[in-house]
């Protein structure tokens, strides 16, 4: 996969991955247009990233989520951000890891594609993603990182609407893994 496109306006290659940052931190504190929630199918407050986002956003988020009638695995839905610094929350349901024989890779790739489609539809310029499905859903971290970086890179090669993507890692090991994968793919 190439990581650059020729931009005739500037006459030199423009790096696609220069729009992507990897950080270790708290996704609820990100100063972006939208954050992605690693949600459950009911879109209800849970544990991990999902619980943290619901707590930080306040009760209004859960009230709006109740009206969305859930979300299928591999899909995404959008709500307001309420008390979060982000204007929007894009809720996506990643797959539970069952050994890799149940379409988990494609479902996870679908999460990233659908989130980025919603970002484009809502004129979101900056978006922050957690490591979807790598917590209690037990998706192998490196495999998930490769899918995330590949899908985001592919989207950025085709679209200019999103100007910044932040991959927010909760732990140092996830941060190190995402950096390694970024270097491999770029």
pLDDT at 152: 97
Q: Is the pTM of this model over 0.85?
A: yes
Q: Which two tokens stand for residue 14?
A: 């423009």
* Interval 45-60: pLDDT, tens: 988 999 999 999 999 9
Angle at 153 between CA 182 and CA 121, to 5 degrees: 140
Residue 165: inside a domain: yes
Residue 130: inside a domain: yes
Expressed as residue numbers, the domain containing 179 is 17-185
Residue 178: inside a domain: yes
Looking only at the bridges linking them, the beta strands covering 88-92 and 76-80 are: antiparallel
Residue given tokens 């978006």 in the structure block: 127
Residue 3: inside a domain: no
* Interval 87-136: pLDDT, tens: 999 999 999 999 999 999 999 999 999 999 999 999 999 999 999 999 99
Residue 9: inside a domain: no
* Interval 5-37: pLDDT, tens: 333 333 333 345 689 999 999 999 999 999 999
Q: Which two tokens stand for residue 19?
A: 């729009």
Residue 11: inside a domain: no
Contact 19, 12 (CB under 8 A): no
Q: What's the domain count of the chain?
A: 1
Q: Which two tokens stand for residue 78?
A: 């959008």
Estimate to the nearest angstrom the gap between the alpha carbon of 2 and the chain centroid. 21
Q: Which long-range contacts (CB under 8 A, 24 or more apart) does 2-6 make?
A: 2/157, 3/153, 3/185, 3/186, 5/157
Residue 166: inside a domain: yes
CATH of the domain at 176: 3.40.220.10
Residue 39: inside a domain: yes
């Amino acid at each position: 996969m190439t990581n650059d496109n020729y931009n005739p306006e500037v006459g030199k290659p423009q790096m696609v991955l220069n729009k992507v940052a990897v950080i270790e931190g708290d996704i609820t504190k990100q100063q972006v247009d939208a954050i992605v929630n690693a949600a459950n199918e009911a879109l209800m407050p849970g544990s991990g990233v999902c619980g943290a986002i619901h707590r930080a956003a306040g009760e209004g988020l859960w009230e709006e989520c109740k009206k969305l009638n859930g979300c299928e695995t591999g899909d995404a839905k959008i709500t307001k951000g309420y008390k979060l610094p982000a204007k929007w929350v894009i809720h996506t349901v990643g797959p539970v890891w069952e050994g890799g024989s149940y379409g988990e890779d494609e479902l996870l790739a679908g999460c990233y594609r659908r989130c980025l489609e919603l970002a484009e539809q809502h004129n979101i310029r900056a978006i922050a993603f957690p490591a979807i499905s790598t917590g209690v859903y037990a998706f192998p971290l490196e495999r998930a990182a490769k899918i995330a970086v590949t899908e985001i890179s592919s989207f950025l090669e085709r679209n200019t609407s999103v100007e910044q993507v932040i991959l927010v890692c909760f732990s140092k090991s996830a941060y190190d893994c995402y950096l390694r994968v970024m270097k491999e793919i770029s």
